[in-house]
Structure 1
């Protein structure tokens, strides 16, 4: 979602009277830094993780430079210079943009809610590009350890029974499993060698994009209970309201007239945000309410 534009070109009135204040110069990097620094306290979300992250379209990675991709035949760097991250805020291009990623994990890490923000500051107006995501709890198989009997004899019998039932099938299936893994590994090696040859000899552009995360792969929407739903709704509402409050404080600190912000906030709070993606489902309704209905469709494009 792209929020309503805010006019940031008009100076605020001098509270002491006598005219207008002088606007303190600022840029999108300053705004991102302020939000990252103050959001935990403003939103009331202790443990909120805030980081600026550079996102680049997979086949555009080679255009960014050696600081991101020192070797065309290897993966991009995970840690890059701060100046390159800031450049994605000030001058987005070559398929790259920098987002302020706000992430809050629920109790025990069962649910994770994140909001990605990008300030679009083109005088005389400011807009926020906003994307929100949620990752549900782990699949049921990861909680089987909690179902072991506590009594000594029953627990021993449970372990022995499981080992007896599964040992034969595991031993008989091991050669087939090893064979399949070996074949798959060789196929991946051959494919990788072909890609390297195309990149090196024909200067082919390779898409380094990732389609998911390890945490997402082992998540299951059926494990999302009432507590996780209410937690995620609370996190999303606090994040939205926190961004609005932090933006207003930032503008006031820089002597900007916030009358345009007040008008935009009324429109923002009545938006309906429909989120689409493979790790989240739901939407913000009127006045910031959140509805979750289940998993959304798998997207075709790489993030």
Structure 2
């Protein structure tokens, strides 16, 4: 044993622990639509809760998305200015050409092309070069991803920091029927384990009768499992947290969760409220112990949501297993970019030459469209806030999904992620059983009923391929594409809420 403990082996290359965060930050610099979606969702004014996003540094992602959006906005504003200058300059140019004849017309046209198109080409080239440089820096750099981009608003960063340790998750009412664990990905299995009789005291090992059962409740059991699971299951880095899951249109019933009905819900509430959801569930409110484990580099994530149903004389475990596959293939673009030399120079020149004309001519329309969309979002929010304030509308504040879910793809699931994730889930199941047995023995409960239930529970297996029966899922052989529903809310009583409130 001592020889094994002192054995020296070479260190193999490892995935970076923040690989997914860096991939997404790099993707924000290379994908305008994704950058704008992230910027609006994480830092914009809204009513709906932000979906639980596992395995991602949201502050870093928000910073890089904002930097990418600002870079593109500056480019399009300057391109719009170039268009305007070209239009205003057209009148004197034409007058000069009319006076100078055909030769003057050719000279004037050439000058306009050189000045207008040349300026636009240089701007497009520089902007793309900066975007690629930022993407490569965050993907391959040694500094923390969050330190490679300027901060966003302090209030937004504070909110995102709280989101990292969220102990409450508001989810939209429509998800209650399909996927209440918003942010955990696709459902793999849901079940209620075999009941265990906890009313019979254990035999006194010293002889002479029975031991007195030590009183306990669901809070004690959840606390014990959360504390012991990492060591019992042998899963280093396991994250265990009790969370209160609340249906979106029931959020106003918890003042600490929604101190302002015209704002978005908080992501952290007093611990006592979370514990209260264990002892007795509220209206549309239940507390679960969420066990989350990320695979190598965070490429795939599994989670198991447990709820102890302790109703004398029996105990049952409600168990839901969920999984998130790796990122979509489009986020691998950063690893396909030429890094230096002639290839990088030629790639940028080719891009600028092919994209400049369309970007130049479309710049005024894009600037106008973004302004219109911003005003539309503001009007939509103002409308819902007026309805909530004046008509006391019961609004659905719940999240419909999360960024991590939307950018995942089951088609990218490899053999390693699949087998590792199945191992994690089996270890979690076995760990819960072992922890439950130890807890019952510590409280002097006869575990003979547990032994019988364990034989049934151990037959449950997990297939890390997603839920092929869920609405909107499609594919073959159990492989599905990740959920694609966008964020939004639905006020009770009909009508759809804003897309990004």
Category of TM-score, reference length = shorter chain: 0.7 to 0.9
Instruction: Return the match for 1:6 from 196, 203, 227.
Output: 196
Contact 2:405 2:482 in 1 (8 A): no
Summarize the alignment of residues 149-298 of structure 1 with structure 2, pairs less than 5 Å apart.
149=338, 152-271=341-460, 280-281=466-467, 293-295=478-480
Between Structure 1 and Structure 2, the one with more strand by share is 1
Instruction: Return the match for 2:269 from 58, 61, 80.
Output: 80
How far 1:209 sits from its partner (Å)? Answer: 1.1
Name the SS for the 2:307 alignment partner: strand
1:127 aligned onto 2:301: no
Instruction: Give 5+ residue unaligned stretches, structure 1.
Output: 284-291
Change beyond 3 A, Cα 1:25–1:155: same
| TM-score of the pair, normalised by structure 1 | 0.88
Contact 1:281 1:296 in 2 (8 A): no
Instruction: Return the match for 1:35 from 219, 225, 228.
Output: 225
Summarize the alignment of residues 142-153 of structure 1 with structure 2, pairs less than 5 Å apart.
142-149=331-338, 152-153=341-342
User: Superposition RMSD on alpha carbons, in Å?
Assistant: 2.6
Structure 2 CA distance for aligned equivalents of residues 60 and 184 of structure 1 = 30
1:25 aligned onto 2:211: no
Determine the structure 1 residue equivalent to 2:244: 54
Contact 1:274 1:282 in 2 (8 A): no
Name the SS for the 1:119 alignment partner: strand
How far 1:295 sits from its partner (Å)? Answer: 2.2
Cα deviation, 1:134-160, whole Å, max 9, x if unaligned, reads 111111121112123466332333343
Change beyond 3 A, Cα 1:189–1:20: same
Between Structure 1 and Structure 2, the one with more helix by share is 2
How far 1:296 sits from its partner (Å)? Answer: 7.2
Name the SS for the 1:133 alignment partner: strand
Determine the structure 2 residue equivalent to 1:288: none
Structure 2 CA distance for aligned equivalents of residues 124 and 170 of structure 1 = 70
Change beyond 3 A, Cα 1:207–1:151: closer
Structure 2 CA distance for aligned equivalents of residues 170 and 37 of structure 1 = 56
Cα deviation, 1:155-174, whole Å, max 9, x if unaligned, reads 33334333443344344444
Instruction: Give 5+ residue unaligned stretches, structure 2.
Output: 1-190, 470-476, 490-501
Structure 2 CA distance for aligned equivalents of residues 282 and 15 of structure 1 = 50
Contact 2:408 2:482 in 1 (8 A): no
Give the number of equivalent residue pairs. Answer: 291
Cα deviation, 1:28-73, whole Å, max 9, x if unaligned, reads 1111111111111111111011111111111111112x21110111
Name the SS for the 2:192 alignment partner: coil
Judge which range, 186-195 or 173-182, deviates more: 173-182
How far 1:299 sits from its partner (Å)? Answer: 10
* Greater gyration radius: 2
